[in-house]
Amino acid sequence: MDNPWEVAQNQFDEAAKLSGLEDWLCSLLREPERVMTVSIPVRMDNGDVHIFTGYRSQHSSLRGPTKGGIRYHHNVNLDEVKALSMWMTWKCAVMNIPFGGGKGGIKCSPKKMSSGEIERMTRKYISEIACIIGPTKDIPAPDVNTDPQTMAWVMDTYSRISGGYTPGVVTGKPLEIGGSEGRNQATGRGIYFTILNYFKHKKQSVDKKNVIIQGFGNAGKYSAMFLEKEGFIITGVSDSTGAIYNSKGIDVEKLIKVKNKTKSVMNYKDAEKISVNEILELKTDILIPAALESSINSVNACRIKANLICEAANGPITKEADRILEDKNIVVIPDILANAGGVSVSYFEWVQNTQSFYWTAEEVDVRLRNLMEKAFNNIICIAEEKNISLRMSALMIAINRVSAAARLRGV
């Protein structure tokens, strides 16, 4: 598997060259501003003490406080977190929201841990990084295997350390303690808006277009829900336990109930069971990789048969795979646009926390739709004007905005 940090840096190098970026800016933006590694001792339920390793990377604060999720996964490592923080910088800049990129994570196996163990681990992690986070410094959010309850523990721990109620330190919180309407489904909603914008631009009908979704977590689930209601047919879905396929369509509402009850899509009855590798290689109108990075790589890219790929995950396509897909004329809507609904509504939540004034779900939805459409139109315009990929167009827009801030702020 390709190293995600090398992928992120290679993408930056290519876009920076196309943008004619000065050498000093290339050097500045190619590395994070700050990276912290912490040891997290946690007393487990059986009385043993286990030492977990946690990370927080802050890539760039040139356009505002850094912003990015916290993930709990057994594969979390420093290079992954650095790459994700860089992608977050570009994502915020593409959406033109006043944040830079951050990311955090703990190397652990949360599905093998109790709720009490996860809470104690979370609180100790936040106590270790509290000196570098805050509403005007760095604002975490949910990511892989973290949720609103995790964010509630983050907010409570930081508030106790800072000596006052501080809801703006984190987004993705429950509504009862300062969360925003629409935040939980925001990533999926943004993917849905992006796909609609693409077919609107192409002047094509979306009715009965087939969709395959790799990964059925938060982003995958809500993408499926919104797309099905619009007339798309969800034909294939996978999660960490396996994959299912039905050419006539999968009932998303039933699948969600099965997944919630049994923790696996494999228990859905009305579909053929296939391998998790095969799901990516089936013929389809739209493929949505919504799992982890590097899912589509130099090994399997030549077998991808989708007409359009919309990146719901961060960095699901490696650099070599990108070239292969481009040669096959497969359009890729990049992650820094496609899955930016999450950080956009996180920004809305932060604004609401700052003002202590909260918006309705309808207001959030309209603001998100407008933001996603504006960003998409900017990217498609540059891509067609310069005859470059949507990814390079998005990266150039982002890098130019961050670079402009660097020049104005000075060395």
* pLDDT tens string 79-90: 999 999 999 999
Which of 177, 101, 201 has its CA nearest to residue 401?
101
Number of domains in the chain: 2
217 and 114 both lie in a single domain: no
CB neighbourhood size of 361 (10 A):
11
140 and 45 both lie in a single domain: yes
* pLDDT tens string 112-165: 999 999 999 999 999 999 999 999 999 999 998 999 999 999 999 999 999 999
Last residue of a domain, one of 165, 197, 225: 165
201 and 327 both lie in a single domain: yes
65 and 109 both lie in a single domain: yes
* pLDDT tens string 239-282: 989 999 999 999 999 999 999 999 999 999 999 999 988 999 99
157 and 228 both lie in a single domain: no
151 and 196 both lie in a single domain: no
Annotated binding-site members for NAD(+): 187, 218
* pLDDT tens string 220-230: 999 999 999 99
User: 365 lies in a domain?
Assistant: no
What token pair was written down for 190? Answer: 């943004």
Q: What is the mean pLDDT of the chain?
A: 96
DSSP 8-state class, residue 408: H
Q: How confident is the model at residue 185, as a pLDDT? A: 94
User: 299 lies in a domain?
Assistant: yes
198 and 161 both lie in a single domain: no
The mean pLDDT value for 337-347 works out to 96
Report whether pLDDT(326) > 90.
yes
Residue listed under structure tokens 């059925």: 216
222 and 326 both lie in a single domain: yes
23 and 160 both lie in a single domain: yes
User: 387 lies in a domain?
Assistant: no
The mean pLDDT value for 376-396 works out to 96
User: Largest Cα–Cα distance of the chain, in whole Å?
Assistant: 62
Given 82, 103, 259, 319, which residue is catalytic?
A: 103
Separation between Cα atoms, residue 147 and residue 212, nearest integer Å? 25
Band of pLDDT at residue 2, cut at 50, 70 and 90: confident
Q: How confident is the model at residue 390, as a pLDDT? A: 97
The mean pLDDT value for 347-351 works out to 98
Which of 233, 223, 231 has its CA nearest to residue 291?
223
33 and 132 both lie in a single domain: yes
DSSP 8-state class, residue 134: B
Band of pLDDT at residue 59, cut at 50, 70 and 90: very high
CB 249 within 8 A of CB 233: yes
User: 197 lies in a domain?
Assistant: yes
What token pair was written down for 404? Answer: 């402009």
Beta strands in 290-338 (DSSP E): 306-310, 331-333
CB 106 within 8 A of CB 40: yes
Last residue of a domain, one of 165, 195, 220: 165
Separation between Cα atoms, residue 159 and residue 351, nearest integer Å? 18
User: 115 lies in a domain?
Assistant: yes
Q: How confident is the model at residue 293, as a pLDDT? A: 80
191 and 272 both lie in a single domain: yes
The mean pLDDT value for 310-338 works out to 94
Q: CA torsion 300→287→197→4, rounded to 10°?
A: -50
User: 262 lies in a domain?
Assistant: yes
Domain containing residue 266: CATH number = 3.40.50.720
User: 301 lies in a domain?
Assistant: yes
User: 135 lies in a domain?
Assistant: yes
Percent of the chain whose predicted confidence (pLDDT) is above 90: 94
Q: How confident is the model at residue 294, as a pLDDT? A: 84
Band of pLDDT at residue 16, cut at 50, 70 and 90: very high
* pLDDT tens string 90-102: 999 999 999 999 9
Give the range of the structural domain holding residue 41, as residue numbers without chain letter: 17-165
Domain containing residue 139: CATH number = 3.40.50.10860
Separation between Cα atoms, residue 189 and residue 175, nearest integer Å? 18
Q: How confident is the model at residue 1, as a pLDDT? A: 65
* pLDDT tens string 280-301: 999 999 999 999 888 999 999 9
Of residues 168 and 4, more confidently modeled: 168
58 and 202 both lie in a single domain: no
In this prediction the pTM is 0.93
17 catalytic residue (yes or no): no
Last residue of a domain, one of 296, 311, 338: 338
